[in-house]
Amino acid sequence: MLGLVYNIANITGGILLGLALLDKWDGDKDYFNKMAKTLAPFQTIIGGALVVLSILFLVRGGGWIYNITSLLGSFLLLTNTISKAPAFQDTLLKLSDKLMPFKAGIGIALIVIGILGLF
């Protein structure tokens, strides 16, 4: 059950992060923009779920590259929330700023990881 939630969080987080690239592939249909507008209010929840579940699956072992990719994507999803927490602000914001150029690539990787995890 946790695996299914993890895969859904990967796919939805990937859609939010990879929106710029997905929008180019979509063309005039505007399908991914509509989906992202629906998912945007849940960005913090999706990012939090990815943090918790990726750490949980890292501790349990196996598939460490998938879990680290999910953890990096969760930091990108939680950038706005992290900036409000003074204790973590410096370190995690630096990490998030360094990952920002790879945002679309990490998003597409999350979609692929989520889809592969479903099978």
pLDDT given for residue 61 in this prediction: 78
- Which pLDDT value is given to residue 38? 85
| CA–CA distance, 41 with 91 (Å, rounded to integer) | 25
Tell me what pLDDT residue 89 has: 67
pTM as predicted: 0.83
pLDDT for 88: 66
For position 34, what pLDDT does the model report? Answer: 80
Q: Length of the chain in residues, anyone?
A: 119
pLDDT tens for each residue of the chain, 119 residues long: 888 998 999 999 998 888 877 777 777 777 777 888 888 888 889 989 999 999 998 888 777 888 888 888 888 888 877 777 776 667 777 777 787 788 888 888 999 989 998 88
Write down the pLDDT at residue 65. Answer: 86
The domains of the chain are located at: 2-118
